[in-house]
C-alpha cells in the first residue's frame, strides 16, 4: 500500500519538477543569471531522477546516483546562491566553502572508496549544511527587500531539513528495523520533495504574474 502511494507521490514530484523545468526554461536566454543557474539545477535533478527511475525499473543498483544527486545539488545550488547573494562577505564564504567541501568529500572517498556504492551519511550532511547556510543568508538579505526567490528558498530549507533528518535516520532504521520500515522514510521524503516543488512552482507563478526580472 505504502509503496503504491509513494510511487504515485513520486510521479507527482517528477511531474512538478518537469513543469518547473519547462516554466524556467521558457525564454531562458533572456532571463537573469539566477534563473539560468536554477534552471540548470532543476534540469540536472530531473535527469538524475529519471535515470535513477530507469535503473530502478531495470532492477539495477541506482544507489551510486545518489552521490551525483548530492554533489550536483551542492555545486549548482552553491553557484545559484553565489549569483543571487550580493553581500561580499557571504560570497566569500561560498568561495571558501565550495572547494573545502569538495576537498573533504574527495579525501573521504579516497580513504573509503567502497562507500561509492553505498549510502553515505557524511556526504549527505556535508553537502547539505553549506546550502542551508547559503539559503539562510539569502533569507536574511530579503528581510527588508522585495521577495526574490523567497518561496524557493523557504521550500528548499524545509526540504533540506526534512530530508537530511530522513536520510540520517534511514541508517538507524535500517540497522534496527526492516526493509518495510525503510519505506516510510522513503515516503516522507517523497512528500517533502513534492512540497519543495510546489514552493518552487508558487515562486515561478508569482514571478510570471509580476513579470520576471531579466
Compare residues 116 and 122 and give the one whose CB is closer to another protein. Answer: 122
Cell of 132: 542551508
Are 150 and 203 in contact, with CB atoms under 8 Å apart?
yes
CB atoms within 10 A of CB 65: 16
Compare residues 123 and 203 and give the one whose CB is closer to another protein. Answer: 123
- Interface residues with another protein (CB under 8 A)? 121-122, 125, 128-129, 132-133, 136, 139-140, 143-144, 161, 164-165, 168-169, 171-172, 175-176
Are 42 and 17 in contact, with CB atoms under 8 Å apart?
yes
CB of 172 to another protein, least distance (A): 5
Give the separation between CA 151 and CA 154, rounded to whole angstroms: 5
CB of 77 to another protein, least distance (A): 15
Compare residues 116 and 161 and give the one whose CB is closer to another protein. Answer: 161
Compare residues 43 and 123 and give the one whose CB is closer to another protein. Answer: 123
Angle at 35 between CA 32 and CA 40, to 5 degrees: 130
Q: For the chain, where are the E strands, in sequence order?
A: none
CB of 143 to another protein, least distance (A): 6
CB of 93 to another protein, least distance (A): 12
Amino acid at each position: 500500500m505504502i509503496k503504491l502511494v509513494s510511487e504515485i507521490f513520486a510521479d507527482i514530484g517528477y511531474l512538478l519538477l518537469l513543469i518547473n523545468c519547462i516554466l524556467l526554461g521558457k525564454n531562458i536566454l533572456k532571463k537573469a543569471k539566477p534563473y539560468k543557474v536554477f534552471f540548470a539545477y532543476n534540469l540536472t535533478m530531473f535527469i538524475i531522477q529519471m535515470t535513477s527511475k530507469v535503473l530502478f525499473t531495470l532492477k539495477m543498483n541506482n544507489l551510486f546516483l545518489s552521490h551525483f544527486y548530492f554533489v550536483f545539488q551542492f555545486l549548482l545550488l552553491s553557484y545559484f546562491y553565489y549569483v543571487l547573494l550580493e553581500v561580499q562577505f557571504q560570497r566569500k564564504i561560498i568561495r571558501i566553502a565550495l572547494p573545502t567541501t569538495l576537498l573533504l568529500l574527495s579525501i573521504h572517498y579516497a580513504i573509503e572508496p567502497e562507500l561509492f556504492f553505498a549510502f553515505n551519511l557524511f556526504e549527505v550532511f556535508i553537502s547539505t549544511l553549506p546550502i542551508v547556510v547559503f539559503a539562510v543568508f539569502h533569507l536574511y538579505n530579503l528581510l527588508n527587500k522585495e521577495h526574490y526567490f523567497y518561496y524557493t528558498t523557504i521550500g528548499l530549507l524545509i526540504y533540506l531539513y526534512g530530508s537530511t533528518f530522513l536520510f540520517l535516520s534511514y541508517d538507524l532504521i535500517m540497522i534496527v528495523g526492516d526493509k518495510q520500515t525503510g519505506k516510510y522514510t522513503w515516503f516522507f521524503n517523497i512528500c517533502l520533495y513534492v512540497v519543495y516543488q510546489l514552493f518552487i512552482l508558487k515562486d515561478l507563478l508569482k514571478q510570471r504574474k509580476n513579470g520576471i526580472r531579466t
